Chains A and B, each alone.
Chain A
Amino acid sequence: TQLLEQSPQFLSIQEGENLTVYCNSSSVFSSLQWYRQEPGEGPVLLVTVVTGGEVKKLKRLTFQFGDARKDSSLHITAAQPGDTGLYLCAEGYGGSQGNLIFGKGTKLSVKP
Protein backbone atom coordinates (compact mmCIF):
# COMPACT_ATOMS: atom_id res chain seq x y z
CA THR A 1 0.00 0.00 0.00
CA GLN A 2 1.51 3.28 -1.04
CA LEU A 3 1.66 6.46 0.99
CA LEU A 4 0.03 9.60 -0.34
CA GLU A 5 1.64 12.88 0.61
CA GLN A 6 -0.35 16.07 0.44
CA SER A 7 1.01 19.59 0.64
CA PRO A 8 0.65 22.05 2.08
CA GLN A 9 -0.91 20.69 5.23
CA PHE A 10 -2.56 24.03 6.04
CA LEU A 11 -3.36 27.01 3.84
CA SER A 12 -4.97 30.28 4.85
CA ILE A 13 -5.69 32.83 2.14
CA GLN A 14 -7.87 35.84 1.39
CA GLU A 15 -10.94 35.70 -0.78
CA GLY A 16 -10.07 36.18 -4.44
CA GLU A 17 -6.60 34.62 -4.27
CA ASN A 18 -5.52 31.60 -6.27
CA LEU A 19 -4.05 28.46 -4.74
CA THR A 20 -2.69 25.06 -5.62
CA VAL A 21 -2.52 21.94 -3.46
CA TYR A 22 -0.58 18.81 -4.29
CA CYS A 23 -0.82 15.06 -3.88
CA ASN A 24 2.25 12.91 -4.49
CA SER A 25 3.24 9.27 -4.30
CA SER A 26 6.38 7.26 -4.89
CA SER A 27 4.31 4.72 -6.82
CA VAL A 28 2.06 4.95 -9.83
CA PHE A 29 -1.59 5.64 -9.14
CA SER A 30 -4.20 3.44 -10.76
CA SER A 31 -6.68 6.25 -10.37
CA LEU A 32 -6.88 9.24 -8.09
CA GLN A 33 -9.87 10.81 -6.44
CA TRP A 34 -10.18 14.25 -4.87
CA TYR A 35 -12.64 14.85 -2.05
CA ARG A 36 -13.67 17.90 -0.06
CA GLN A 37 -14.74 17.46 3.53
CA GLU A 38 -16.39 19.97 5.85
CA PRO A 39 -16.12 19.56 9.65
CA GLY A 40 -18.36 16.79 10.96
CA GLU A 41 -19.49 15.75 7.48
CA GLY A 42 -18.54 12.98 5.10
CA PRO A 43 -16.08 13.53 2.24
CA VAL A 44 -17.72 14.64 -1.00
CA LEU A 45 -16.22 13.42 -4.27
CA LEU A 46 -15.01 16.27 -6.49
CA VAL A 47 -13.36 14.40 -9.34
CA THR A 48 -11.62 11.17 -10.37
CA VAL A 49 -8.62 11.26 -12.69
CA VAL A 50 -7.46 8.14 -14.44
CA THR A 51 -5.29 9.01 -17.46
CA GLY A 52 -1.77 10.43 -17.17
CA GLY A 53 -1.71 14.10 -18.17
CA GLU A 54 -5.45 14.38 -17.71
CA VAL A 55 -6.88 17.79 -16.83
CA LYS A 56 -10.41 18.20 -15.50
CA LYS A 57 -12.20 21.43 -14.68
CA LEU A 58 -15.03 21.89 -12.24
CA LYS A 59 -16.04 25.58 -12.30
CA ARG A 60 -13.13 27.36 -10.55
CA LEU A 61 -11.35 24.10 -9.72
CA THR A 62 -8.79 22.58 -12.08
CA PHE A 63 -7.45 19.09 -11.43
CA GLN A 64 -4.34 17.76 -13.12
CA PHE A 65 -2.94 14.24 -13.15
CA GLY A 66 0.79 14.00 -13.78
CA ASP A 67 2.04 12.36 -16.95
CA ALA A 68 3.69 9.61 -14.92
CA ARG A 69 0.55 9.19 -12.78
CA LYS A 70 2.50 9.69 -9.57
CA ASP A 71 1.28 13.15 -8.72
CA SER A 72 -1.80 15.33 -8.95
CA SER A 73 -2.68 18.93 -8.27
CA LEU A 74 -5.80 20.90 -7.50
CA HIS A 75 -5.83 24.57 -8.47
CA ILE A 76 -8.55 26.92 -7.25
CA THR A 77 -9.01 30.25 -8.98
CA ALA A 78 -10.44 33.25 -7.13
CA ALA A 79 -11.06 31.33 -3.92
CA GLN A 80 -14.25 32.02 -2.00
CA PRO A 81 -15.09 31.45 1.69
CA GLY A 82 -17.31 28.57 0.59
CA ASP A 83 -14.19 26.74 -0.62
CA THR A 84 -13.05 26.40 3.00
CA GLY A 85 -12.62 22.76 3.99
CA LEU A 86 -10.33 19.76 4.04
CA TYR A 87 -9.18 18.61 0.61
CA LEU A 88 -8.28 14.93 0.50
CA CYS A 89 -6.75 12.93 -2.29
CA ALA A 90 -7.33 9.20 -2.31
CA GLU A 91 -6.30 6.21 -4.37
CA GLY A 92 -8.37 3.13 -4.98
CA TYR A 93 -6.81 -0.25 -4.21
CA GLY A 94 -7.98 -3.70 -3.18
CA GLY A 95 -9.03 -5.05 -6.54
CA SER A 96 -12.46 -4.52 -7.99
CA GLN A 97 -13.90 -3.52 -4.64
CA GLY A 98 -11.86 -0.36 -4.78
CA ASN A 99 -11.07 0.42 -1.15
CA LEU A 100 -9.46 3.80 -0.65
CA ILE A 101 -6.28 5.00 0.96
CA PHE A 102 -6.35 8.71 1.78
CA GLY A 103 -3.70 11.37 2.08
CA LYS A 104 -3.58 13.47 5.25
CA GLY A 105 -5.32 16.32 3.47
CA THR A 106 -4.87 20.05 3.02
CA LYS A 107 -6.91 22.20 5.37
CA LEU A 108 -7.92 25.33 3.46
CA SER A 109 -9.30 28.46 5.07
CA VAL A 110 -10.51 31.29 2.84
CA LYS A 111 -11.12 34.53 4.71
CA PRO A 112 -13.60 37.13 3.44
Chain B
Amino acid sequence: AAGVIQSPRHLIKEKRETATLKCYPIPRHDTVYWYQQGPGQDPQFLISFYEKMQSDKGSIPDRFSAQQFSDYHSELNMSSLELGDSALYFCASSLVGQGIYGYTFGSGTRLTVV
Protein backbone atom coordinates (compact mmCIF):
# COMPACT_ATOMS: atom_id res chain seq x y z
CA ALA B 1 0.00 0.00 0.00
CA ALA B 2 1.18 3.52 -0.73
CA GLY B 3 2.51 5.40 2.26
CA VAL B 4 3.27 9.01 3.06
CA ILE B 5 6.32 10.10 1.09
CA GLN B 6 8.64 12.79 2.35
CA SER B 7 11.58 14.37 0.61
CA PRO B 8 14.38 14.85 1.06
CA ARG B 9 15.25 12.30 3.76
CA HIS B 10 18.27 14.29 4.89
CA LEU B 11 19.09 17.97 4.51
CA ILE B 12 22.03 19.99 5.72
CA LYS B 13 21.77 23.77 5.69
CA GLU B 14 23.76 26.63 7.10
CA LYS B 15 22.39 29.20 9.53
CA ARG B 16 20.21 31.85 7.91
CA GLU B 17 19.60 29.70 4.83
CA THR B 18 16.18 28.51 3.67
CA ALA B 19 14.85 24.98 3.33
CA THR B 20 11.82 23.41 1.70
CA LEU B 21 10.46 20.06 2.83
CA LYS B 22 7.93 18.15 0.77
CA CYS B 23 5.20 15.71 1.74
CA TYR B 24 3.07 13.52 -0.50
CA PRO B 25 0.10 12.07 1.43
CA ILE B 26 -1.52 8.71 0.96
CA PRO B 27 -3.76 8.86 -2.14
CA ARG B 28 -7.24 10.21 -1.31
CA HIS B 29 -6.15 11.54 2.07
CA ASP B 30 -7.24 15.17 2.23
CA THR B 31 -5.62 16.25 5.50
CA VAL B 32 -1.91 16.77 6.07
CA TYR B 33 -0.15 17.44 9.37
CA TRP B 34 3.40 18.57 10.06
CA TYR B 35 5.30 17.68 13.24
CA GLN B 36 8.75 18.60 14.52
CA GLN B 37 10.72 16.21 16.74
CA GLY B 38 13.87 17.50 18.38
CA PRO B 39 16.57 15.13 19.69
CA GLY B 40 15.15 13.01 22.49
CA GLN B 41 11.82 14.84 22.32
CA ASP B 42 8.29 13.81 21.44
CA PRO B 43 6.78 15.10 18.18
CA GLN B 44 5.34 18.60 18.41
CA PHE B 45 2.49 19.67 16.16
CA LEU B 46 3.32 22.51 13.76
CA ILE B 47 0.46 22.97 11.33
CA SER B 48 -2.25 21.10 9.44
CA PHE B 49 -4.15 21.52 6.20
CA TYR B 50 -7.48 20.28 4.95
CA GLU B 51 -8.50 20.71 1.34
CA LYS B 52 -5.64 23.15 0.73
CA MET B 53 -6.69 25.42 3.59
CA GLN B 54 -4.84 25.74 6.88
CA SER B 55 -6.97 23.96 9.45
CA ASP B 56 -4.96 24.34 12.63
CA LYS B 57 -1.72 25.88 13.81
CA GLY B 58 0.53 24.74 16.60
CA SER B 59 3.97 25.83 17.69
CA ILE B 60 5.17 26.85 14.24
CA PRO B 61 7.66 29.75 14.21
CA ASP B 62 6.82 32.80 12.11
CA ARG B 63 9.90 32.01 10.02
CA PHE B 64 8.15 28.88 8.80
CA SER B 65 5.27 28.70 6.36
CA ALA B 66 3.47 25.85 4.69
CA GLN B 67 0.86 25.19 2.09
CA GLN B 68 -1.10 22.36 0.54
CA PHE B 69 -1.43 22.18 -3.21
CA SER B 70 -4.22 21.04 -5.52
CA ASP B 71 -2.76 17.53 -5.69
CA TYR B 72 -2.82 17.50 -1.84
CA HIS B 73 0.92 17.43 -1.47
CA SER B 74 2.28 19.88 1.07
CA GLU B 75 5.46 21.88 1.46
CA LEU B 76 7.00 23.31 4.61
CA ASN B 77 9.16 26.36 3.92
CA MET B 78 11.68 27.35 6.55
CA SER B 79 13.63 30.60 6.35
CA SER B 80 16.39 32.23 8.40
CA LEU B 81 17.31 28.81 9.74
CA GLU B 82 18.68 28.60 13.26
CA LEU B 83 20.73 25.88 14.93
CA GLY B 84 17.70 25.03 17.06
CA ASP B 85 15.71 24.12 13.95
CA SER B 86 17.79 20.95 13.63
CA ALA B 87 15.25 18.17 14.08
CA LEU B 88 13.26 15.45 12.41
CA TYR B 89 10.28 16.83 10.53
CA PHE B 90 7.40 14.45 10.00
CA CYS B 91 4.39 14.70 7.79
CA ALA B 92 1.28 12.63 8.38
CA SER B 93 -1.97 12.28 6.49
CA SER B 94 -5.51 11.14 7.12
CA LEU B 95 -9.02 11.56 5.88
CA VAL B 96 -10.83 14.51 7.47
CA GLY B 97 -12.41 13.55 10.76
CA GLN B 98 -10.43 10.32 10.93
CA GLY B 99 -7.21 11.72 12.35
CA ILE B 100 -8.32 11.06 15.89
CA TYR B 101 -8.33 7.36 15.04
CA GLY B 102 -4.76 7.32 13.86
CA TYR B 103 -2.34 8.82 11.41
CA THR B 104 0.05 7.43 8.88
CA PHE B 105 3.39 9.16 9.25
CA GLY B 106 6.09 9.52 6.66
CA SER B 107 9.67 8.51 7.36
CA GLY B 108 10.59 12.11 7.99
CA THR B 109 13.20 14.62 6.88
CA ARG B 110 16.22 15.03 9.10
CA LEU B 111 17.26 18.67 8.96
CA THR B 112 20.66 19.62 10.27
CA VAL B 113 21.52 23.30 10.55
CA VAL B 114 25.22 24.03 10.86
Which residues of A are at the interface with B, using a C-beta cutoff of 8 A?
30-31, 33, 35, 40-45, 48, 50, 88, 92, 94-105
Contact = CB atoms under 8 A, between A and B. Distances in A.
Contacts of B77: none
Contacts of A101: 45
13 contacts: A31-B100, A31-B101, A42-B4, A42-B106, A97-B97, A98-B94, A98-B99, A98-B100, A99-B45, A100-B103, A103-B42, A104-B42, A105-B42
Contacts of A100: 33, 35, 43, 45, 99, 103
B42 A98 contact: no
Interface residues of B, number: 32
B8 interface: no
B50 A97 contact: yes
Given A43-B43, A97-B99, A102-B44, 6 more contacts: A40-B110, A48-B100, A98-B97, A98-B99, A100-B35, A100-B45
Interface of B: 4, 31, 33, 35, 41-45, 48, 50, 55-56, 58, 88, 90, 92, 94, 96-108, 110
A70 B101 CA distance: 17
Contact of B90 (A33, A42, A50, A94): A42
A92 B100 contact: yes
Nearest to A95: B56
A40 B108 contact: yes
A102 to B, nearest CB: 4
Contacts of B100: 30-31, 48, 92, 98
A102 B59 CA distance: 14
Given A97-B31, A99-B45, A100-B45, A45 B98 contact: no
Nearest to A40: B110
Contacts of A33: 101-103
Contacts of A40: 88, 108, 110
A30 B99 CA distance: 12
